[in-house]
Homo-oligomer: A and B are copies of this chain.
């Protein structure tokens, strides 16, 4: 996975368009969620959405450039308190872009399956939308990690999770939301749509079958 050598301005436009699409689907309500793109891996430079902004009205001018410590190099505003998660994913996965959504189904299923440590999703054609998956006969493991307000302290644990699960395309934070990533903004956006779709299918299937 090698991030394209896009400039900051270009990825800022791409992140903005993706954020607006996800907000329209109800996955980034109330200034929740955040998105980033890797402008440079060495030294690490991430274009990232600022905290506390309405993703339905996001403009490219609002996107920040930050370094690995979360220091803002360009732009006005504060990066998200979850910047450490983005940095960890960008490094361990050499990701070109990272998307973090707050959807109803991600909240509901991470709540329900939190004790199991994750959700296994298998047998759906839609899984082939995930990079490297070539058949529906694939089981995607979506780990669920406990929520925290101290992500820098959790970075080592997250790095281990990513290293121990080299094939995952995302993970859930309990009663919080989904993290997924890709080689570039387009692939991260595709993984977001694929995983949100699969979470909705699983959630609705459980609703239907529930106390059977």
- A residues with a Cβ closer than 8 A to B are 21, 25-26, 29-32, 54, 56, 102, 104-105, 107-108, 111-112, 123-126, 129, 134-136, 147, 149, 173, 175-177, 186, 189-191, 193-194, 196-197, 200-201, 203-212
Q: Contacts A54-B190, A211-B211 given: A125-B147 contact, CB under 8 Å?
A: yes
Residues of chain B within 8 A of A210, CB atoms compared: 208-212
In contact, B129 and A200 (Cβ under 8 angstroms): no
List 21 A-B residue pairs with CB atoms under 8 Å apart, sorted by A's residue number: A26-B197, A29-B197, A30-B129, A30-B190, A30-B191, A30-B193, A30-B197, A32-B194, A104-B200, A107-B126, A108-B201, A123-B147, A124-B175, A125-B173, A125-B175, A125-B176, A125-B177, A136-B175, A209-B210, A210-B212, A211-B211
Q: How far is the CA of A107 from the CA of B124 in the complex (A)?
A: 8
Residues of chain B within 8 A of A194, CB atoms compared: 29-30, 32
Q: How far is the CA of A32 from the CA of B54 in the complex (A)?
A: 24
In contact, B204 and A108 (Cβ under 8 angstroms): yes
In contact, B108 and A134 (Cβ under 8 angstroms): no
Rank and list the top 6 A-B pairs by shortest CB-CB distance, nearest first. Answer: A125-B176, A30-B194, A30-B193, A30-B129, A29-B193, A207-B208
Q: Contacts A30-B194, A104-B204 given: A149-B129 contact, CB under 8 Å?
A: no
In contact, A54 and B200 (Cβ under 8 angstroms): no
Residues of chain B within 8 A of A189, CB atoms compared: 54
